[in-house]
Amino acid sequence: MDNDRDLEDVCRVLAGNVSAFENIVRRWQSPLVNLAFRFCRDRQRAEEMAQDAFLKIYRNLDKFRADAAFSTWVFAVSLNLYRSLLRRKSLPMEPLGERTDIAATESLQHQAEQNEREESVRRAVTVLPPRYRDALIVFYFREMDLKETAALLGVSEGTAKAWLHRGRELLRRKLDTRITAQAAVKEVYL
């Protein structure tokens, strides 16, 4: 249904009606901002990245072939742009332990600690090597759809599966190391 509406708007834009692109922007702004946010964990930066993605989509609209779903094409174009933006200008990454340490020392309530822990896991994903980071972000963003993840990354399903496995391993190792270090710090100070 949405794909039909997207195709209609694409045709209208290509026929010279620039305003029709606004419908595409309204339908896709939330997914593209959220995908960008998972890469940079910064709301303002995510909106800037999404703006650049829309501009790229507009410029390349004539290259869209209707044999693929519009959603797949939009995500693939945006993903490529986000990756190149991140390569060009590395993000100022907050040290991973910082937020958790603050939460630990201030002894905030359980829910706050839980939120911090989850946020530190998501931040840890962004500092993985690019191929594992991309695989994990896209896989969970597309609600664990392996086929679409592979298509968006431009690799076979087997390769995507291997990257996901390796990415999870690295992530687990990174998190376990940190948890051990934090436990040691707690033991010293408490």
According to CB under 8 A, which residues from 26 to 65 bind other proteins?
26, 29-30, 33-34, 37-38, 43, 46-47, 50-51, 54-55, 58-59
Which residues within the stretch 112-131 sit at the binding site for other proteins (CB under 8 A)?
Answer: 118, 121-122, 125
Among 105, 176, 177, 184, binds other proteins (CB under 8 A): 176
| Binding string, residues 155-174; x marks residues near other proteins by CB under 8 A | -------------x--xx--
Long-range contacts of 26-35 (CB under 8 A, 24+ apart): 27/2, 28/54, 28/74, 29/54, 31/74, 31/75, 32/74, 32/78, 34/141, 35/75, 35/78, 35/79, 35/82, 35/137, 35/141
Q: How far is the CB of 89 from other proteins (least distance, A)?
A: 19
Q: Please count the residues of the chain.
A: 190
The Cα 66–Cα 71 span in angstroms is: 11
- How far is 88 from 100, CA to CA, in rounded Å? 29
Please report whether residue 21 would count as binding other proteins according to CB under 8 A.
yes
Q: Tokens 């606004």 correspond to what residue?
A: 22
* Interface positions with other proteins (CB under 8 A): 18-19, 21-22, 25-26, 29-30, 33-34, 37-38, 43, 46-47, 50-51, 54-55, 58-59, 118, 121-122, 125, 136, 140, 143-144, 168, 171-172, 175-176, 179
